[in-house]
Amino acid sequence: MPDAIRITDSHCHLDFPDFADDLAQVVARATAAGVHRMVTICTRLKDVAGVRRIADTFAPVFFAAATHPMNAAEEPLATVEELVALAAHPKFVAIGETGLDYHYTAESKAVQHESLLIHIEAARRTGLPLVIHARDADDDMARILTEEHRAGAFSCVMHCFSSGPDLAEAALELGFYLSMSGIAAFPRSAALRDIFSRAPVERILVETDSPYLAPPPHRGRRNEPAHVVHTAAVGAEVFGMEPAAFAARTEANFDRLFAKAATTATAAKVPGDG
């Protein structure tokens, strides 16, 4: 993908230990690759100070926070007021990631549901988009999002979307967005690429979910925001677009959904540059 292309990594985890030794270099590599914005996601609210510090340190980095569904049984329930207070920070741009995960943590289903409802209400009150994690919970996820949206509208992205076509259709009918991660670039993900191809390109974002899910040619190694360009290249193929046109489309989509980030200027220079 040409250097002139500008793109956003809408979901990464820069506070994870994987980046402890070279975070400045990771951010610098991303900006050099044309990734001019990154949203780093806090998955345990007790860690939010560290995530906020990363956003304060690196101009291209924004942040979001929530209790991840896999952590819901281990952490105190968030409060709506706590999440709303976080939104006062100028670089806090989303509520998430929250959601449902029955793959490893189905036993905490009840508390996951309770936690999700709290985060939905925070998204309503702040006007910030909700970032949803859904794994092996398609039916409950579609039902809850539909019922809650009818009770009071909110915006949302289905992060790292790798669920089935029914959940994709339900999310799109609500006006939500689907985010392509490295999974969509895996050779065996043809069925997932087909789901994306049937979605409006105006509802597509791209992300790394780094340090996880590195796309080819980096699969099996640590993922990082610079690699989102490889997923975007696959996205361009899926939608039959030139890479520059697809990148521009995902930028417009991100600006529409993450409107707060779109109004905050980022500097090209980051700590660690010469």
pLDDT value of residue 90: 97
Tell me how far the alpha carbon of residue 205 is from its chain's centroid: 8
Exposure string (b/e) for 27-40, b if CB count within 10 Å is 16 or more? Answer: bbbbbebbbbbbbb
Tokens of 80: 């709506």
**What totals of helices (H) and strands (E) does the chain contain, helices first?**
10, 8
Per-residue model confidence (pLDDT) at position 4: 72
Closest listed residue to residue 168, CA positions, set 182, 188, 184: 184
Mean pLDDT across the chain:
95
CB-based burial label for 274 (10 Å; 0-12, 13-18, 19+): exposed
Q: Report the run of H or E that residue 62 belongs to, with start and end.
A: strand 61-65
Convert the pLDDT of each residue in 171-228 to its tens digit.
999 999 999 999 999 999 999 999 999 999 999 999 999 999 999 999 999 999 999 9
Output the pLDDT for position 270. Answer: 39
Place of tokens 């398609």: 138
How far apart are the C-alpha atoms of 166 and 177, rounded to whole Å?
A: 14
Burial of residue 95 (number of CB atoms within 10 Å: 0-12, 13-18, 19+): buried
pLDDT tens, position by position, 60-107? 999 999 999 999 999 999 999 999 999 999 999 999 999 999 999 999
Give the C-alpha separation, 223 to 205, whole Å: 17
Confidence class for position 265, pLDDT limits 50, 70, 90: low
**8 Å CB contact between 155 and 184:** no
pLDDT at 98: 98
268, pLDDT greater than 50: no
pLDDT tops 50 at residue 2: no
> Around Cβ 247, how many Cβ atoms within 10 Å?
26
Give the tokens for residue 119.
Answer: 């985060």
- Position 246 pLDDT exceeds 70: yes
Q: What is the mean pLDDT of residues 135-164?
A: 98
Question: Mind listing the domains of the chain with CATH numbers?
Answer: 7-262 (3.20.20.140)
pLDDT > 60? residue 266: no
Type and span of the H or E element at 170: helix 165-173
Decide if pLDDT at 273 tops 50. Answer: no
Among candidates 58, 65, 48, 56, which has minimal Cα distance to 23?
Answer: 58
Confidence label for 3 from pLDDT (cuts 50, 70 and 90)? very low
